[in-house]
Homo-oligomer: A and B are copies of this chain.
């Protein structure tokens, strides 16, 4: 994941807070106060405030005047919305990337695929390694968007991926294998390397829909389970 911490405290706090939220250390729905974070990171409230402001703009927290901040809870509906947009953006970015990719870009994409494959085939791998595989898999999409050459598209796609990242992670880590996703990634990269924009775009859109369905199925199962528990009590 691209660490872009400038030298200012505000940016450090922003990165730190974002990481805590995205990785679920601060769970969705929990209330966070400026003071908590300020004390925890040993800085004053000012940089924390600014970090919160930016996170609110990112949609990762929501804050109401004089009532503090709450880590945004992502319900199934928001997830659907996000992936609907992601299908559009990712599909288009992949089309553009297929037309724009240089040899260096293609090598980079292939290297990421190889890294995924390596991480996937480690015997008795740890959670950390599964986590890394997911991370590289998501990063692949970021890099494709970057290759597309449309900086604004890249920025917006990164924003959406950040928002969904925690959910994708917490849900998908339950599975042991993502062979389908790996194969799909490989196909997309192939199409990009072949310069087949139309095919790359189609594959990318299908891939996003597939990921969405995967996570939705798990979210639904969890929801059903909780309903079952509630009814049983």
Contacts and interface: CB of A to CB of B under 8 A. Distances in A.
Interface string A142-173: 00000000111100100000000000000000
B54 A152 contact: no
A59 B152 CA distance: 10
A81 B152 contact: yes
A123 interface: no
Given A6-B65, A54-B57, A81 B49 contact: no
A99 to B, nearest CB: 13
B6 A78 contact: no
A228 to B, nearest CB: 30
Given A50-B53, A78-B152, A88 B84 contact: no
Given A54-B54, A85-B156, 9 more contacts: A7-B65, A49-B50, A57-B57, A81-B153, A84-B92, A84-B150, A85-B89, A85-B92, A85-B152
